[in-house]
Amino acid sequence: MKRFKIQMATMLTAGTLLFASSCEDFLEVPVVGQLSEAQLSSLAGIDAALIAAYSQVNGRFQRMASPSNWVWGSIRGGDANKGTDPGDFVTINPIQRYEAFSTINILEENWNGNYEGIARSNNVLRLLDSRGNDVTDAQARGFEAQARFLRAHYYFQLYRNFNKVPIIPHTVDYGMEEFDNLSNDQEMLPFIEAEFRFAAENLPATQPQVGRVNSWAAKAYLGKTLLYAKKFAEAKQVFDDVIANGVTSNNLRYDLVPYYDDMFRGANDNHQESIWAYQSAAGTGTVNNANPEFDLNFPYNTGPSGPGNCCGFFQPSFTFVNSFRTNNGLPLLDNSFNQPANRVVSDMGLTSAEPFTPDAGPLDPRLDHTVGRRGIPYLDWQDHPGEAWVRNQPNGGPYAPKKYVYQRAEQGTFQDNSSWTPGYTGINFLIIRFADVLLMAAEAEVELGNLEAARALVNRVRERAKNSELLRDNGQPAANYVVELYNAPWTDANTARTAVRFERNLELGMEGHRFYDLVRWGIAKEAIDFYLALDASILQGALGGAVFTAGRDEWLPIPQNQIDLMGSDKLRQNPGF
């Protein structure tokens, strides 16, 4: 009996321990809806994290963080005025007037949107530190190179707007001591250069998905960074390689698209000029997959007779339009295009019911691929009717943007109708394109004294412009287009430099480059004063009294909220704010 009781006690004790152990195991259930570290560090998990880093490139509905830089690069650079009504999106008003202050919410939108991209890129790198066994060394290197490319892009965006910003290593997170010691006291370009160099050395030439960056995109961006750093010899070496040997991620040899407007058509996405583009798709059931870059920047009140029907932002400036005037087929490099005799005739002050004849003088056809103006075909919709498609002509002028606007033929295919506005498109936005590389290479050649090499590169771009006349349905040119090459040798460096810089504005106008170019050339004050002299005299309400202050307005103020969070001893405000 005693032995039996001992056996029973032993069994009960064992059962109790087993029950306790089983209960403990039962309670250790993974959290529902949360991925485990093992899942996140797997091949599929890391790739998904990388796709999330790519997806942030367009700002993810933080419009002011998008790489189009239509406010930060084009409006500040004088390509365009804000347009629309003065009371619509009022936080852009001080930006276009060079009166920025540190509590404007769109500054923080740009800051937060790009730092979100950095956080997502850093997350990929953290996951790679503990990667699973199903991730090979080669795959890890490819993931790292893409993540570091994207991280460099986001920092480059921040650098061009705010100058020095905190560089956050992927090993540092909020709340760590190292995070608390971050500051904005270091130069940005050396770090960005190193990131793009790593990407260029470790990415493949082609990719299984065209939207993923390749080694040639990294080299092009590296060359751009070197140009900003004024390392002209190194930049030339990189650009020479890209121009001679570069291919797209889908293995198309880099080249200019034969007809200028074809760059901005959805059916032509990922063409031979597309070095790196934000991938967009329409009709997927959500505009999250579309291109939100320009949803506000369509002609106003078009009804079914035009695209977008909202909202009249981003109107090309008078100075920008006038710059397309030619003389004997060449641009007016002496800036005489703003003189009364050379200005492009516009319908400013006229209603659509009043008669108007478009300008008959010689023009570069890129004007009419970039700008909608009265009496000239607006894509395949109709001739632009003038004031009827302009929300507030005295506030923004008579012109409308044209690049990245969808055609009538693109409705329902490369245009999305699932949101409040039909202005979401499936047209990729080109962040770097081949013509940009050619002109950056030309710039490096000028600074190195190779003027004839620079002339050849510029002429390559102008040859495409010459072959891109905008035609009416009857096959006749829509205006008097006269474009010629620079046939005389370039012997003076200042003249060559002016020609290259002028060509960048004609070729890349309203693509977000202008202000950043002016700042890195050291001529922002001079160029913006020239723009304001004409445009402010016409658009008194929007620009009257606007002044660009050298030594301050080359950069934006760092958002005050960010300074409050980090402390003014660590995050120092830019001069003058």
Q: What is the pLDDT of residue 287?
A: 86
Residue 14's contacts (CB-CB under 8 Å, 6 or more residues apart) are none
Per-position pLDDT tens, the chain of length 577: 334 333 434 433 444 433 344 445 555 666 666 677 778 899 999 999 999 999 999 987 788 999 999 999 999 999 999 999 999 999 999 999 999 999 999 999 999 999 999 999 999 999 999 999 999 999 999 999 999 999 999 999 999 999 999 999 999 987 888 888 899 999 999 999 999 999 999 999 999 999 999 999 999 999 999 999 999 999 999 999 999 999 999 999 999 999 999 999 999 999 999 999 999 999 998 888 888 888 899 999 999 999 999 999 999 999 999 999 999 999 999 999 999 999 999 999 999 999 999 999 999 999 999 999 999 999 999 999 999 999 999 999 999 999 999 999 999 999 998 888 899 999 999 999 999 999 999 999 999 999 999 999 999 999 999 999 999 999 999 999 999 999 999 999 999 999 999 999 999 999 999 999 999 999 999 999 999 999 999 999 999 999 999 999 999 999 999 999 999 999 999 999 9
Q: CA-CA distances (angstroms) from residue 457 to 454, 467, 483, 507, 508? A: 5, 16, 16, 13, 15
Contact (CB, 8 A) for 314 and 401? yes
The beta strands (E) that lie in 215-328 are given as 274-278, 313-316, 326-327
Quick one: tokens of 19?
């029950």
Q: What is the pLDDT of residue 434?
A: 98
Residue 402's contacts (CB-CB under 8 Å, 6 or more residues apart) are 368, 369, 370, 371, 372, 378, 379
Q: Which contiguous run of DSSP H or E holds residue 80?
A: strand 80-83
Q: What is the pLDDT of residue 426?
A: 94
Q: What is the pLDDT of residue 36?
A: 74
CA distance 489 to 66: 40
310 preceded by a cis bond (ω within 30 of 0): no
Q: What is the pLDDT of residue 382?
A: 97
Q: CA-CA distances (angstroms) from residue 180 to 175, 259, 568? A: 7, 52, 13
Q: CA-CA distances (angstroms) from residue 131 to 31, 105, 146, 172, 571? A: 21, 38, 16, 18, 34
Please spell the DSSP secondary structure of 328-350, one letter per residue: TTEE-TTSGGGSTTTSPP--TT-
Give the residue among 272, 326, 265 at the shortest CA–CA distance from 462. Answer: 326
**The residue type at 269:** D
Q: What is the pLDDT of residue 20?
A: 43
Quick one: tokens of 388?
């009827």
Q: What is the pLDDT of residue 552?
A: 98
CA 276 to chain centre: 10
> Phi, psi (5° rounding) for residue 382?
-175, 175
CA distance 119 to 169: 10
Q: What is the pLDDT of residue 31?
A: 64
